[in-house]
């Protein structure tokens, strides 16, 4: 009788093992479950927004990342659109411009450029910024050629923009990689990006000085 009980106990133990295996397998499958939801792209020409082959940041060269961040900084420095709320967001102390600049650079920018940007945006002007292809290092500074096109009037299809060319010399601190700290505290990149933070603010890039 005792042997029979032991035998059934063994069988139950074996069954329990298989049940545990089954549930673990099911959970494992569930963790990798993916659903495909059908959606239709509108027939727009999105080629300017379409990304190419995605490449991880680690595989990009220093030059590639640095040049794009420099371009981003210069565009952010001058760009104007006719949306005053957008300008207000861009000039705040938690903006991407503040994240990419040393405190003195950000303060100077607010003193010199922001007033003009706000004025023109209020008057519904629009300004585009085009950066020259070559960004060369001259001593401690990076030399950046730029072209500003400003439309001072809105909804006038006969208007040609004012064109202004210039050179900016910027001194930067750049280290390849993603920030792990921001403003002295810890920095949760995932949360930052999911809340709509500008991706340019996550790189270890800072402009220490601007000369024009």
Residue bearing tokens 């990009």: 60
Of the two residues 186 and 190, which places its CB atom closer to another protein in the complex?
Answer: 190
66 interacts with another protein by CB under 8 A: no
Binding footprint of another protein, residue count (CB under 8 A)? 61
Q: Least distance to another protein from the beta carbon of 56, Å?
A: 7
DSSP string, 91-126: TSTTSHHHHHB-HHHHHHHHHHTHHHHHHHHHTT-E
The alpha-carbon radius of gyration of the chain (Å, integer) is 28
Stretch that binds another protein, among 42-50, 112-120, 138-146, 164-172 (CB under 8 A): 42-50
149 in Cβ contact with 191 (< 8 Å) = no
141-151/126-138 β-pairing = antiparallel
The rounded Cα 96 to chain-centroid distance in angstroms is: 9
Point out which residues bind another protein (CB under 8 A).
6, 10, 13, 16-17, 20-21, 24, 27-28, 31-32, 34-37, 39, 42-46, 48-49, 51, 54, 56, 68, 71-72, 74-76, 79, 81-83, 85-86, 89, 96, 124, 126, 128-131, 151, 154-159, 161, 190, 193, 196, 198-200
């Amino acid at each position: 009788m005792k042997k029979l009980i032991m035998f059934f106990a063994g069988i139950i133990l074996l069954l329990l093992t298989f049940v545990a295996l089954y549930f673990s397998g099911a959970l494992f499958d569930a963790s990798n479950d993916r659903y495909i939801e059908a959606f239709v792209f509108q027939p727009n020409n999105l080629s300017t927004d379409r990304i190419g082959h995605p490449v991880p940041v680690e595989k990009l060269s220093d030059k590639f990342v640095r040049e794009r961040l420099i371009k981003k900084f210069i565009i952010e420095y001058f760009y104007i659109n006719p949306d005053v709320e957008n300008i207000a967001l861009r000039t705040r102390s938690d903006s991407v411009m503040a994240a990419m600049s040393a405190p003195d650079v950000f303060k100077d920018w607010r003193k010199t450029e922001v007033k003009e940007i706000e004025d023109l945006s209020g008057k519904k002007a629009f300004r585009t910024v085009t950066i020259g292809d070559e960004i060369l290092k001259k001593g401690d500074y990076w030399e950046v050629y730029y072209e500003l096109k400003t439309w001072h009037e809105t909804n006038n299809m006969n208007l040609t923009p004012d064109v202004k060319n210039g050179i900016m010399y910027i001194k930067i601190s750049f280290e390849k990689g993603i920030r792990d700290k921001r403003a002295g505290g810890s920095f949760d990149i995932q949360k930052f990006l999911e809340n709509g933070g500008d991706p340019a603010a996550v790189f270890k890039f800072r402009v220490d000085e601007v000369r024009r």
